[in-house]
Amino acid sequence: MSNQGYADELRSERGYLAGLYTRLDAERARARGRYTTAVGGNGLEAMERDVHVRASAKEVKRLDVADNGLCFGRLDTLSGEHRYIGRIGLFDEAADYEPVLLDWRAPASRSFYTATAASPENMRRRRQFHSRGRTLVDFTDEVLGRPDGDARGDAALLAAVNAPRGEGMRDIVATIQAEQDEIIRLEHPGVLVIEGGPGTGKTVVALHRVAYLLYTQRERMERHGVLVVGPNPAFLNHISRVLPSLGESDVVFMTAGDLVPGLRVTAEDEPGVARLKGSLKAVEVLAAAVADRQRLPVEPVAVELGGVTGRIDAETAAWARDEARASGLPHNEARAVFVEIITYALTERAIGRIGKGWLTRSDKDGWEQLRKDLISELAEDEVFVATLDELWPVLTPEALLGSLYASPERLRAAGADASLFRVDGTAWTVSDVPLLDELVDLLGKDKAVVDSAERERKAEAAYAAKVLDSMITREDMMDDEDHLFATDLLFAEDLAERFVEHDTRELAERAAADRDWTYRHVVVDEAQELSEMDWRVLMRRCPGRSFTVVGDLAQRRSAAGATAWAAMLEPYVPDRWVYRSLTVNYRTPAEIMTVAAAVLADFAPAVQPPESVRACGVAPWSRQVTAAELADAVADFVRDEAGREGTSVVIGPPGVPGAVAASETKGLEFDAVLVVDPDKILADGPRGAAELYVALTRATQRLGVLHQGPLPQALRGLVPVGTPG
């Protein structure tokens, strides 16, 4: 294309994009108008009004996020049709809703990501736009189907991966590669495992897959939402903008330490303890700990009843315990069976003694009336109530697990390892969270608490009804034009009930606060770190077993984590999981990946490192410093990077000034990385080697290493310098 031809095409494309933005602004204005009308109510009932408000607010949000990079490309078909590809779909109402912009997830858009010179898919050309704000800066063309065509299709990708990093992960909607697109659009109803080395884009592919599923299966997924589980809060903050930038907001972000509502746990156990808690054997320990709290009296307990003395002995309690356990109910709910049997035994014996000589079983009315009187008496008897609480207490997960950890005797009784003992039983760690969640099911709900909540709910409804009734004044009733009837007064109570029951919180907020909430799809990132017990929690959260699992077994640091995907998944989804791998490294330049690959070869020689798509032209360096020089050397790095565009981080073992642990940077990326004391990181055994591998692969442009001791053999490929250049 000549320079003049390119300029004419650029002018034409700018005009087309300007028209798209005009259409977007009109859509946005209409959506905001619908939102304003919905907020005003317009005569709608409260619940119906809320539905309209939510729907219109979601539409406004969807249109707002489309403003940045609205249209990023064009496909030209062999028949001469132009298909413009963008973040959302826009249509021409005046032309039978013909698409003027295709949503990137639409089937007709797929060739934009998958067509090649060798396999053009009936396409003649792919055009990629480079925009700044609403202005089209330039474009590149890739002629398809002709090996001698102007193939500049990698320009957009290389521009994206070379660009300085900012805050948060960016979407890749404009630069999705063919192997990524295949995974994003994979129609698999079960579990999809995406494995890839550092920088292969597995996280962002998983998030785009969520956006695709929400687009193609919105009716099935929207009401229950999607759960995204990541390794730490920093990671979740890093990825949190991706889905909203794609117009999707019904997503809950959590770490494994957040999966029980009300808890935000980040502390970790030492590896041996984490391995014990993460094993499925923990289920047996918890069941035994619950059973240990279902006790028999050492000596018979005397209970005064109707003027006679009854006794709760071991034989009676054993009968009641057996019946309660045989009910199959969780512990707290089975307590009702236990209490019923004990109560029956005491009252039967007491009636026989009290009514001796004048009351027989044939007098059913007299017998049952006396029983009711005795049951009422028992309910007020402090000894009886205290004995029941001792033999079959109402338990919470926190109380049971905390008392288990704090008692060597209870640990022994439950068959648990002595290493689980700790003085502060409720000093929760991330490994405790799945155990607490397991106990929710083992213990069940406390009926008294449930009944109390129901009474409170009804009281709130009654109060709301009273308030609404008081708003209906005598004047209203006398108004000839708008008088009220008895049915209107009944409606006030009904409306109050619906007001109390209808939860107006956003889906993500409601789901995060509800332990029993179930999701239609779950994304698990850094999944190699999850234990067997963690997987039990997640499977409970998604009964449909629809998962996107993202990980890299070579980066596993948790002693309780996965060593093979099949071991974790087969118990839950046999024959319903598929595996896909990503092999191209878009983040880490070849110079840095060569260094990291040497570390990988030492601790995981069978694992093939990903192939970097680019080089950065800057050699990774190392510098040996003394203990006295270390702080100044770190400060020099921080100061130098502060003057550059982009992001940087210092990674090192505890005690290094300004450094974070490698585990805190998992899934993150920075323009520049300084790794301090790699020999001390490696000293943590296999976990340390994985940590160093993670640390070395966070950089997109520049990598430096400071070391006090000898440089580890695997890092001898670094360029030694006196001071970093």
Q: What does the pLDDT average to over 489-499?
A: 44
Listed range (2-6, 337-341, 457-461) with the worst mean pLDDT: 457-461
For residue 549, give the nearest of 57, 141, 183 by alpha carbon: 183
Residue 147: what pLDDT?
Answer: 52
655-667 pLDDT tens trace: 898 999 998 999 8
The residue assigned the tokens 């009422």 is: 376
Q: Of the ranges 363-377, 442-456, 678-692, which is most confident? A: 678-692
* Residues contacting residue 479 through CB under 8 Å, at least 6 positions apart: none
pLDDT digits (tens, 9 = 90+) for 289-303: 999 999 999 999 999
Give the rounded distance of the alpha carbon of 49 from its chain centre: 30
Q: How far apart (Å, rounded) are the C-alpha atoms in residues 538 and 433?
A: 12
Share of the chain above pLDDT 90, in %: 66
Q: Which residues are bridge partners to 651 per DSSP?
A: 660, 675
By the 8 A CB rule, do 639 and 617 touch? no
**Which residues have C-beta within 8 Å of that of residue 251, sequence separation ≥ 6?**
210, 225, 226, 227, 228, 243, 508
pLDDT at 483 over 50: no
Alpha-carbon gap, residue 295 to 563, rounded angstroms? 40
Residues 6+ apart with CB under 8 A from 392: 293, 294, 295, 321, 324, 331, 335, 338, 339
pLDDT band at 167 (very low <50, low <70, confident <90, very high): low
594 vs 371, residue with greater confidence: 594
Q: Residue 302: phi, psi to the nearest 5?
A: -80, 135
∠ CA 360-365-367, rounded to 5°: 45
- Is the separation of the CB atoms in 347 and 371 below 8 Å? yes
Q: From the CB of residue 629, how many other CB atoms can be counted at a distance below 10 Å?
A: 14
Q: What distance in Å separates the CA atoms of residue 680 and residue 684, rounded to the nearest whole number?
A: 7
Query: CA 445 to CA 468: how far, in whole Å?
Result: 34
CA distance 76 to 624: 57
First to last CA, the chain: 42
Query: Looking at residue 220, what is its pLDDT?
Result: 85
Q: Are 564 and 668 in contact (CB under 8 A)?
A: no
- Which segment of 93-102, 199-208, 266-275 scores lowest on mean pLDDT? 93-102
At position 237, the amino acid (one-letter code) is: N
User: What is the chain's Cα-based Rg?
Assistant: 33
Q: How far is CA 701 from the centre of its chain?
A: 30
Count how many Cα atoms sit within 13 Å of the Cα of residue 245 in the half-sphere of its side chain.
Answer: 18
Between CA 235 and CA 239, with CA 238 as vertex, the angle to 5 degrees is 95
Find, among 281, 283, 279, the residue nearest to 561 by Cα. Answer: 279
β-pair partners for 196: 582
Give burial (CB, 10 Å; 0-12/13-18/19+) of 95.
exposed
Q: Which of 406-410, 558-562, 659-663 has the highest mean pLDDT?
A: 406-410
Q: Which residues contribute to the annotated binding site? A: 196-203
pLDDT at 704 over 90: yes
Angle (CA) 318 322 323, round 5°: 120
The continuous run of DSSP H or E covering 142 comes out as: strand 135-143
CA atoms within 13 A on the CB side of 648: 22
- Residue 348 in contact with residue 370, Cβ under 8 Å? no
The pLDDT-based confidence of 165 (bands split at 50, 70, 90) is low
Give the residue among 618, 650, 654, 647 at the shortest CA–CA distance from 633.
Answer: 650
245: which 2 tokens?
Answer: 């930038």
pLDDT band for position 368 (cuts 50, 70, 90): confident
User: 699 pairs with which residues across the strands?
Assistant: 670
Say whether pLDDT at 694 is over 50: yes
pTM summary value: 0.84
* Dihedral class, residue 225 (left if φ above 0, else alpha if ψ from -120 to 50, else beta): left
Closest C-alpha among 286, 288, 356, 296 to residue 320: 296
Helices (H), 185-313: 202-216, 218-221, 233-239, 242-245, 271-278, 281-292
Q: Which run of H or E residues covers position 496?
A: helix 486-501
Distance CA 517, CA 510 (A): 8
The predicted pLDDT at position 146 comes to 61
Q: Mean pLDDT of all residues in the chain? A: 87
Feature table: binding site for ATP? 196-203
Does the pLDDT of residue 610 top 80, yes or no? yes
Among 23-32, 428-437, 472-481, whose mean pLDDT is lowest?
Answer: 472-481
2 contacts 125 by C-beta, under 8 angstroms: no
Q: Which residues pair with 176 in a beta bridge?
A: none
Which pLDDT does position 46 carry in this prediction? 63
5 in Cβ contact with 58 (< 8 Å)? no
Higher pLDDT, 697 or 359: 697
8 Å CB contact between 393 and 293: yes
DSSP labels for 458-511?
Answer: HHHHHHHHHHHHHHS-HHHHH-SSS---HHHHHHHHHHHHHHHHS--S-HHHHH
Average pLDDT over residues 356-381: 81
